C-alpha cells in the first residue's frame, strides 16, 4: 500500500496563494520570499501550514534558507514578499517582543550576567508577573527540565547539556503557544544530543505546544518530528511525515538527502498507472514506481534504498533481478554492508542483516541482486547536487 499514495495528495500539503478559505492552521507562511541583496532569493516562495500542537522540522543543508524562515517567524528578519499568519493574524509588522513566541538559540544565548533562575525569570519580569508567581513558575520550569537545584548557578557553571535545558526552560516558562528552535543541539556531543532529542520530544508531548525546529541533522529530524520540510536552495523540496519522507521521497534531492540511496539514471519507456518501465543508461530495463515522471521519453533517476535490495537466493522472485559482482564487504556487527557492481560498473551499496546466508560473502563473488518495483522510485532526472 505504501506505493499507491499519490504525491501531493496528503491533506496537509502546501497551500497555494488562493487557498485562503482554510484558516484553521495555527501558523501559515503564504508565498514568503526573502532576499538580502536584492539579487538572489534566499527563500523562494515558501508555503507552510502548521497545525496547533504539531512538531514541524525545517531540514536542509546550510544556506538552504531554513534558518531565515525561522528568523522571519521570530521577527528578526522581514519577509521581502508574502505573509506570515499566526492564529490567522498577520504578524509581519509585529516586533519580536510582541509576538509571544519562545525561542531556543543554537548557542543557548543564556544571559551570562544572570543566574539560571534570573534567566528564567526574565521573560516573566518583562511581562510584569508577580514575584510569587514568577518564583513558582521558574521553579516549575526548572523541575520540568530536571534542574530544580541549579537556580542559583551561573550559566557558565553548567555543562553544555544543562545550559541547553535551561535555554529550553526559559523559552517555555512564559507559556508561549509556539516555540522555535534553531539547531539547538548542534553544539552537543552525540550521546547528549540523543538524550536531549528525547527530552524535547517528551516536553512537546506533555505541554502540547507547537514547535518549529530547524536542523541539518536528518536523524534528529526523523526522530522528533511530526512533519519535516526538506529545504534546498530556498525551496521546500518535500513536506511529509518522517516515514513518508524516507520511504516515499518525491524527488532525487530528498531521496539523496534523507538516508542513503542507490541512484540509476535512465529514460522512461512506458507508464502504466503507478508503474513505469525505465531503460537505464547501460541498456537494462527496470520496473519502478512512477513518482515524478509523467510521460515516456523523460529522463529519470531511479532511487533504491540499500536495505531494500535482496542478495543471492532471496533476490530470485523479485520484479528486478540482475547479476552483480561483490567488490567489498564491510562487517558492521548487526548488519553487513556490501558494495557490489552491476550493469557494467554501476556501484550499489547494499545493507543486509547479519544472518547465515550472507556470512559467506567474498569479494569477487558473483551473485544475483534484486528488488521489488515498490522499492524502486522513478524520480526527476536532475542530477542531485547533494
Partner 1 sequence: MTLPSDTPEGLTTADGRPLKASLEHAVRRHRLRALMLVLPLVAFLIVAFILPIGSMLWRSIDNPEVSQGLPLTSRAIADWDGQELPGEPVYAALYKDLETGYADRSIGRVASRLNYQYSGMRSTLMGSARKLGRLEGPPWKAAMISLDRDWGEHDLWRMIQREARPWTLSYYLSAIDMQYAPNGDIVEKPGYLQLHVKLFVRTLWMSMLITALCLVLAYPVAYLLATLPAGKGNLLMILVLLPFWTSLLVRTTTWIAILQQQGVLNDILVSLHVIGNDERLQMIYNKTGTIVAMTHILLPFMILPLYSVMKTIPVGYMRAARSLGAGPVTAFRRVYFPQTVAGIGAGSILVFILSIGYYITPALVGGESGRFITNLIAYHMQTSLNWGLAAAIASILLFVVIICYLVYNRLIGVDKVKLG
Q: Which residues bind partner 1 (CB under 8 A)?
A: 74-76, 95-97, 99-103, 105-107, 109-113, 122-123, 126-127, 170-171, 174, 180
Which C-beta is closer to partner 1: that of 183 or that of 380? 183
Q: How far is the CB of 200 from partner 1 (least distance, A)?
A: 17
Which C-beta is closer to partner 1: that of 6 or that of 37? 37
Rounded Cα distance between 118 and 199, Å, is: 23
Which C-beta is closer to partner 1: that of 27 or that of 255? 27
Distance of CA 4 to the CA centre of its chain: 23
Q: What is the DSSP letter of 4?
A: G
Which C-beta is closer to partner 1: that of 89 or that of 360? 89
Which C-beta is closer to partner 1: that of 173 or that of 318? 173
Q: How far is the CB of 126 from partner 1 (least distance, A)?
A: 5
Q: What is the DSSP letter of 99?
A: S
Tally Cβ neighbours within 10 Å of residue 24: 9
- The secondary structure of 35-87 as a DSSP string is -SSSSS-SEEEEEEEE-TT-EEEEE--TTSSHHHHHHHHHTSS--SEEEEEET
Tally Cβ neighbours within 10 Å of residue 183: 20
Cell of 326: 561483490
CB of 366 closer than 8 Å to CB of 322: no
Which C-beta is closer to partner 1: that of 75 or that of 256? 75
Tally Cβ neighbours within 10 Å of residue 285: 12
Q: What is the DSSP letter of 383?
A: P
Rounded Cα distance between 166 and 142, Å, is: 7
Q: How far is the CB of 99 from partner 1 (least distance, A)?
A: 8
Q: How far is the CB of 102 from partner 1 (least distance, A)?
A: 7
Amino acid at each position: 500500500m505504501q506505493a499507491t499514495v499519490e504525491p501531493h495528495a496528503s491533506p496537509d500539503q502546501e497551500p497555494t496563494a488562493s487557498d485562503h478559505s482554510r484558516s484553521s492552521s495555527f501558523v501559515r507562511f503564504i508565498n514568503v520570499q526573502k532576499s538580502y541583496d536584492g539579487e538572489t532569493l534566499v527563500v523562494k516562495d515558501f508555503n507552510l501550514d502548521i497545525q496547533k500542537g504539531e512538531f514541524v522540522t525545517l531540514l536542509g543543508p546550510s544556506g538552504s534558507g531554513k534558518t531565515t524562515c525561522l528568523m522571519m517567524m521570530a521577527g528578526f528578519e522581514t519577509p521581502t514578499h508574502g505573509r506570515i499568519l499566526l492564529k490567522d493574524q498577520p504578524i509581519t509588522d509585529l516586533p519580536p517582543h510582541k509576538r509571544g513566541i519562545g525561542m531556543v538559540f543554537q548557542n543557548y544565548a543564556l544571559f551570562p550576567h544572570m543566574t539560571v533562575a534570573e534567566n528564567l525569570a526574565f521573560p516573566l519580569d518583562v511581562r510584569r508577573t508577580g514575584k510569587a508567581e514568577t518564583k513558582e513558575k521558574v521553579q516549575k520550569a526548572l523541575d520540568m527540565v530536571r534542574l530544580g537545584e541549579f537556580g542559583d548557578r551561573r550559566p557558565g557553571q553548567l555543562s553544555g547539556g544543562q545550559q541547553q535545558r535551561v535555554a529550553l526552560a526559559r523559552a517555555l516558562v512564559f507559556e508561549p503557544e509556539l516555540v522555535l528552535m534553531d539547531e539547538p543541539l548542534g553544539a552537543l556531543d552525540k550521546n547528549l544530543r540523543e538524550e536531549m532529542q528525547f527530552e524535547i520530544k517528551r516536553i512537546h508531548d506533555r505541554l502540547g505546544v507547537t514547535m518549529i525546529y530547524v536542523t541539518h541533522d536528518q536523524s534528529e529530524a526523523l526522530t522528533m518530528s511530526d512533519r519535516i520540510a526538506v529545504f534546498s536552495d530556498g525551496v521546500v523540496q518535500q513536506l511529509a511525515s518522517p516515514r513518508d519522507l524516507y520511504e516515499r521521497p518525491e524527488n532525487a534531492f530528498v531521496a539523496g538527502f534523507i538516508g542513503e540511496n542507490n541512484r540509476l539514471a535512465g529514460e522512461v519507456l512506458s507508464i502504466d498507472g503507478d508503474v513505469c518501465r525505465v531503460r537505464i543508461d547501460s541498456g537494462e530495463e527496470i520496473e519502478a514506481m512512477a513518482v515524478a515522471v509523467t510521460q515516456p521519453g523523460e529522463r529519470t533517476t531511479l532511487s533504491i534504498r540499500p536495505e531494500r535490495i535482496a542478495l543471492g537466493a532471496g533476490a530470485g522472485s523479485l520484479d528486478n533481478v540482475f547479476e552483480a559482482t561483490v567488490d567489498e564487504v564491510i562487517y558492521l556487527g548487526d548488519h553487513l554492508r556490501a558494495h557490489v557492481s552491476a550493469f557494467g560498473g554501476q556501484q550499489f551499496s547494499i545493507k543486509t542483516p547479519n544472518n547465515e546466508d550472507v556470512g559467506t560473502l567474498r569479494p569477487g563473488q558473483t551473485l544475483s541482486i534484486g528488488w521489488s518495483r515498490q522499492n524502486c522510485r522513478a524520480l526527476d532526472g536532475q542530477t542531485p547536487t547533494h
